[in-house]
Structure 1
Amino acid sequence: MSTIGWVIYNGNLPSSKFVDFARMLQEAAHRQNGELHIYKNNDLLSFLVSNEFKILKNTPESLPDYVIFIDKDIYLARQLESLGIPVFNSSRAIEISDDKILTYQELVKEEIPIPSTIIAPKIFSTGTIEKNMLTQVIEQLGLPLVIKEAFGSFGEQVYLVHSEAELREKVEQLQGKPFLFQSFLKSSFGRDLRLQVVGNHVVAAMKRTSEQDFRANVTSGGKMENYSPTTEEKVLAIRAAKAIGADFAGVDILFGPDDSRYVCEVNSNAHIRNLFDCTGINAADYIVRHILRQIK
């Protein structure tokens, strides 16, 4: 009897890249003689009644043997886990990955190198910004520096500021949102690495570059090329994925001074189409194989 799984993506987003990721995983499962049914997160309603968790859906299909969760709807992921269903990545891994502040805190616990970072104190939308706080940030990190909102994807919600006036203006704009300040690695301007980790292995990697933007994300106009990571880069990426508890993740690595490397982000649901187009390696096959081994 074949193993039956679900892959869940966000049905409220207009881009086709989300369902494309789901289909790549579904096709990979079929190649491994498994069944993987695609669901939107809004096809599955988390229903709570006294002493019971339920999932409301419009099909008679029974609950799956496992779920591949490529969305950030952690409440739905937790609901499925509460029903005893193995979820990959786990709701906790997704929660940490989705929040850059939590991610960096977990990385530092494991002594994984990151750019120097200051977490912005919680500032309510009606609060006031103390000049002393901005002065401390500049003294510690220098200028220019990077500001990152805690929640954001595809290199968006990341800003490079060059002056104290620019810094104050951006902080005022972000009042009411969680964000952080980070040292700017000039040595990594417009270039980074994306390593795809599955289990204990790096299965594919690419280098991304941009001539116009300090961010190298392809969505921001960056170009990509196949890359053969060093042993040290592989170990760093695997450690970063494990630090947030991810079974699979796209780990972004920055180039530091003196040929050093720093972890920039750990993406629990990193899309793999660009990686496939760049390297010819279909990470979906590795992800599904890893999960089937885990549940068996």
Structure 2
Amino acid sequence: MCLEGWIIYNGHLTGNKFRDFAEWIQNAGDRKGIKTKIIKNNHLFSILSDNSSRLLNTSEQSLPDFVVFGDKDIPLARQLEDMQIPVFNSAQAISTCDNKIETYRELSNNKLAIPKTIVAPKIFPGLTQIEQEPFQHVASELGFPLIIKEAYGSFGEQVYLITSFKEMLTKVMELKEVPYVFQQFVSTSFGKDVRINVVGDNVVAAMLRTSKEDFRANVSAGGQMEPYQPSQKEKEIAIAATRAVGADFAGVDLLFGENKEPIVCEVNSNAHIRNIYDCTGVNVADFIMNHIVNEVE
């Protein structure tokens, strides 16, 4: 069986990171003799009617055997699944990971260690005043410093270290209707975390990320990286976190708790893989492609 696949990325995003991921996956397919085509999401319109659902404005003559979805265009991913095309990662997994509130809910439901997290109440647009007294309960529960983290964000952005109640209220007023969480600050992991890449039920690569200037260790924010050998417990929690969000592959970020106990910080369904290759020499794309072939054939 000669498989053919599509690799979809967001055509309107500037920069090369997203196209770069698609090319790494395509090259991994080439090494296995699998034909793939890289397609921008804005070249695939979903058309819905009372008797069919299909794609509009595509020059493709036949549908693929699978799709690697390197984007967060969740409606398009769902459309492809409705057309009985296997999508990796699934629309549901991407949706869960894209919304950190939903990520933490799934991790909590699966009894995995996470920082204590409080979901901010929904606020509708146009509000000019916010009732302040209820937020005292947040401060009492978590103490200071604490983290405010927007539900949608990447590369360590949209994450704020808050040191006082006044500062917290200022940020709450600034965010207003933006969905976000309050979160326990894990001081034992200041400026350091571990990125573990999971494919299927296996850990395939890991690196330690550190920063001397920032509480966040993201490489895109200036953090340094070095190869890391995760413990058995770290491997198990990374695999369990990937399963919890329903992903076939993911980049799982772990914090160091007391006595170096692993705590899940985030699960990334669209984790970029160039940095971890530069750090470890492991090409995660090859593992992803092998997994997809095993799932589809």
* TM, length-normalised to structure 1: 0.98
**Per-residue CA shift, 1:224-269, capped at 9, x if unaligned?**
1011111100000000000000000000000111221100000001
Equivalent positions of 1:64-75 (< 5 A) are: 64-75=64-75
**Per-residue CA shift, 1:101-120, capped at 9, x if unaligned?**
00000001110000001000
Letter in 2 for 1:154: F
Unpaired runs of 5+ residues, structure 1, are none
**Per-residue CA shift, 1:118-149, capped at 9, x if unaligned?**
00001223333222222100100000000000
Letter in 2 for 1:115: P
| 1:275 corresponds to | 276
Cα distance in structure 2, aligned partners of 1:43 and 1:226 = 38
Structure 1 residue 60, shift from structure 2 partner: 3.8
| 1:44 corresponds to | 44
Letter in 2 for 1:202: V
Cα distance in structure 2, aligned partners of 1:15 and 1:271 = 13
Aligned residues: 296
Equivalent positions of 1:112-123 (< 5 A) are: 112-123=112-123
| 1:249 corresponds to | 250
Secondary structure in structure 2 of the residue aligned to 1:265: strand
Cα distance in structure 2, aligned partners of 1:196 and 1:221 = 20
Letter in 2 for 1:251: V
Cα distance in structure 1, aligned partners of 2:131 and 2:208 = 40
The answer to whether the aligner puts 1:226 opposite 2:191 as a matched pair is no
Cα distance in structure 1, aligned partners of 2:251 and 2:35 = 25
**Per-residue CA shift, 1:136-173, capped at 9, x if unaligned?**
00100000000000000000000001011100000001
Secondary structure in structure 2 of the residue aligned to 1:51: coil
| 2:211 corresponds to | 210
Cα distance in structure 2, aligned partners of 1:70 and 1:240 = 20
User: How well do the aligned residues superpose, as a CA RMSD in angstroms?
Assistant: 0.9
| 1:180 corresponds to | 181
Secondary structure in structure 1 of the residue aligned to 2:216: coil
Structure 1 residue 40, shift from structure 2 partner: 0.7
Deviates more, 1:259-268 or 1:123-132: 123-132
* TM, length-normalised to structure 2: 0.98
Cα distance in structure 2, aligned partners of 1:247 and 1:104 = 18
Q: What percent identity do the matched residue pairs reach?
A: 54
Letter in 1 for 2:137: Q
Letter in 1 for 2:52: E
The answer to whether the aligner puts 1:104 opposite 2:104 as a matched pair is yes
